[in-house]
Structure 1
Amino acid sequence: MELLSTKGLPVNGRAAAWAELYATRMSACEFTPQDGGEFAAELRIGSLGPVKLARLQLDRCSVERRASHITQNSQRLYNFLLQAEGSSIFYHCGREAELVAGDFVLCDTGLPHFFRTEDHSTTVMVRVPGETLRSYLPTPEQFCGQLLGRASGLTGTIAAMVRELSSGEAGIDANCEDRVARYLLEMISMAYTAGISPSEDAEATAIAWQRHKTVLCYIEDNLRDPELSPATISERLKVSPRYLRAVFSPGGEKMGAYILRRRLEECARQMANPAWKAHTLTEIAFSWGFNSAAHFTRTFHEKYGMAPREYRRVMLMKDCA
């Protein structure tokens, strides 16, 4: 297995240097230490046939993959993230998953996502090319960002298998790697289809979900644009408003409501992050597409039950506790 570490990197700017190193092996993203102190990380990478196994150890920090990090038309890759040790919060596709040891969540690396560790954390990533994964999960989009809990069906067995395979000590013969990888992906797909209750999302066809994801990607890429709306999306994607509503309907949420919710969630996330405490609430809100402080305050209170200023105070106090 290949080993990468922050050891030997300069103390000043270590998180940025680590991000550059990490991008050469995994994906481009930004690392922000939560405590503002010395930052330490370690990454062990191995492979199992078409599957990449990566074991990431982190101090308390946040990891963000933004739209600016994503290269269009690059190979679509999916990560099954196993919280092996510690706990974390993962935001992806408009969903929030609180992970403790033994939980899984699926991530599409072609879409923005945010990951925050609550303490020292170990995460094992099972990285699979999209074309390979679709042989096991025809519509992985419906599962992205959804928590697969450790107590659900086969999850505990799969977690133990992933831990062992990522340790580098499994001793699997090279001739058997493809077979073991297929078995692992079959187990994971069974766990997801059995462990996450069917919904309208799950009953959508693969074609409908692909169209839905195209619109979702566009929204996430342009969430900071104050002009973003169903009307401008319809115009820019060159589709009719009626068609756009039909494409978005499998998600069960109106497009305008989705845009507002995602903007509020991103604002709340940054307000709770000590790394952003030097920025005003208005700066944060306007950076996420709001153009009225009054509208932001009102809609934030409706969603979170308190004013933005109070929410920030409570969350930062909780973070320091």
Structure 2
Amino acid sequence: MRAVPEARVFEVGGVAEVGAWERHNAEALIELACALPDGAFRAREVNLQLDRVHVALVSGTAHTVSRDAGLVAERPADAIAVYAALRGEALLESGGRRRVVRPGQLLVCDVDRPFLRGFGHGLEELAVKIPRPLFTEVTGLASLDAPLVIDAAGDGADPLARALVRLVGRSVAADVPVPADERAVLELVSVLATGSRGSLALAHRAAARAYIDDHLTDPALSAASVAAGAGISERQLSRVFADAGTSVPRQILARRLDLAHALLAAGAAGRTVDVATRCGFASASYFSQAFRRRYGVSAGEVRRSAAS
């Protein structure tokens, strides 16, 4: 039976709870020192632990967070973080340089290099935490020499950065959250972090996984349409998925089942046949069999459990 990760929410509603906010972040995400301007403080965090990667949606009123040299030395996080700004500009100070990260941009950084981030008008952002050994495994890099700021929205946006925002957002910011495909997250971050130094095959596979996630409900989704979406031939597509020990049909099936489970568990689905159709399955019978194989329970059992 496949375990399904569940998001957890933590909120604070006053200046007196800043300590609780810091402790929560130290346990759930990354330990930070938090400084407040005069006035009230409110913050909320939706956390989702995948297999090895952690994703979150963070929102709050004006404040500043930092990891100075002392905190890094005392409490190393041994991780790389990706922050996707959704609302509110953020001042970034790192390595003697100051810059502003605006909504629609990604920040990729080594959190064991001292930094300060100031949210003068509050914030809403997505966060991804990748353990350093895992980051090294997928990128070949032990660290990042300096923070990377990448456009993920607007003219000239990096399409893979945009895909990463959509993928993570659907897992923690959607009305019916669907756990992110961890492998897709890692491949997208790897391509963004390595740029032209990275593997072209990895970039193609990351683009294909993102295309699949964007078109799960389309019953016509196929290897041909995925290849066209990724800009490669079907033969190349088959090869890059085989290199990862999987195939396009298996990827489509797994992600459609993830979507179906999310709908059922959220009580956002009707009959099994309706869920199957909504998730792009042509056969309700095939959907039911595949669902039970993956989760060890029937779709109806998940739906009834959500309703009880």
TM-score normalised according to structure 1 size? 0.52
**Cα separation, partners in 2 of 1:49 and 1:144, compared to 1, 3 Å:** farther
Distance (whole Å) between structure 1 residues aligned to residue 77 and residue 18 of structure 2: 26
- CA-CA distance at 1:107 after TM superposition: 2.2
Q: 1:90 aligns with which of 80, 89, 92?
A: 92
Distance (whole Å) between structure 2 residues aligned to residue 77 and residue 188 of structure 1: 13
CA-to-aligned-CA distance 1:4-58 (integer Å, 9 cap, x gap): 1113xxx453333422333232333221223x00111111111222100121111
The match for 1:25 is 28
Residues matched between the structures, number: 187
Match for 2:26: what amino acid? A
Structure 2 regions of 5+ residues with no counterpart?
1-6, 198-308
The match for 1:263 is none
The match for 1:66 is 68
Structure 1 regions of 5+ residues with no counterpart?
197-321
The match for 1:51 is 53
Point out the more displaced range, 99-108 or 39-48. Answer: 99-108
- CA-CA distance at 1:157 after TM superposition: 1.9
The match for 1:5 is 11
* Aligned 1:1-321 pairs, distance under 5 A: 1-7=7-13, 11=14, 13-34=16-37, 36-72=38-74, 74=76, 76-139=78-141, 141-142=143-144, 144-150=146-152, 151-167=157-173, 169-172=176-179, 180-194=181-195
Structure 1: 4+ residue segments shifted above 4 A: 71-75
SS in structure 1 at match of 2:194: helix
TM-score normalised according to structure 2 size? 0.54
CA-to-aligned-CA distance 1:102-124 (integer Å, 9 cap, x gap): 21112222222111113121121
| RMSD of aligned residue pairs (Cα, Å) | 2.7
Distance (whole Å) between structure 1 residues aligned to residue 139 and residue 82 of structure 2: 12
Match for 1:147: what amino acid? V
Contact 2:29 2:54 in 1 (8 A): no
* Identity level (%): 16
Match for 1:135: what amino acid? E
CA-to-aligned-CA distance 1:71-92 (integer Å, 9 cap, x gap): 5585611111111222212222
Contact 2:30 2:77 in 1 (8 A): no
**Cα separation, partners in 2 of 1:170 and 1:59, compared to 1, 3 Å:** same
